[in-house]
Amino acid sequence: MALPRKSSSATRDRLLRAAERCFTEHGFEGSSLRQITRLAGVNLAAVNYHFASKRELWLEMMQRRLEPLNAERVRLIEEVRATTPAGKPISLERICEAMVLPVAKAFEEGKGCNLTAARMVGRAINVPPALSKELNRRCLEQYWRVFNAALRDALPGVSAAELEWKFYFLMSAMLGSLAWHGRQHGLEKELSNSNLEPMLRRLTVFLAGGLRAGSPAAKSKP
């Protein structure tokens, strides 16, 4: 028998919220469906009904967070393009801001920041490769094309292969910063659990410098 629509929607939301907490605290491999359903206050059958598997639950949880985030990133990158005078290069700093700063807004809840959600996204770097690849296919490929086009305009002399490396390091730095936010010894007073933006603004400066840096010289063969 089909579940009532209102009850079904509420159960689905509870499962997604419980999954965020469990996957953030224990990682994908360390979280069990039993843990998630216990936290959500539902039975295992609810997972099968709504998501079919732990894998699909994780993917939908990530999509729920990433899709509005990436839509805002695309909007900001298009705004950068539209406001850059003809003949002038696009600002790397503004490209990095378009990528990084929406994270703070996306994870705001009330007047504070949902740090659990931010760390959950940071944890995505440690999931099995096949799962990460599927997430990229569902959520990141279209955004990467927009971002890559902006980088090509800002760095016209850089090869496509080198842009791939730069994007790889950029994503790794951002995800690592989210995963470690609030845990770095010596920065406890600087890193706020209620506001990600100051840290992310520092990160944009760092990322822009890395994107602007030249490629390593190839070693000559003996």
Most confident of 4-8, 37-41, 153-157, 174-178: 37-41
pLDDT at 118 over 80: no
pTM of the entire predicted model = 0.76
Categorize the per-residue pLDDT at 1 as very low, low, confident or very high, splitting at 50, 70 and 90: very low
Contacts of 111 (CB under 8 A, 6+ apart): 194
Q: How far apart are CA 65 and CA 5, in angstroms?
A: 23
Structural domains of the chain, ranges and CATH numbers in brackets: 1-52 (1.10.10.60), 61-212 (1.10.357.10)
CB atoms within 10 A of CB 35: 17
Backbone phi, then psi, for 41, in 5-degree steps? Answer: 75, 30
Q: Which amino acid is at 149?
A: A
pLDDT, tens digit (0-9, with 9 covering 90-100), for 58-113: 999 989 888 888 899 999 999 998 999 988 888 999 999 998 888 887 777 655 55
What length is written for the chain? 222
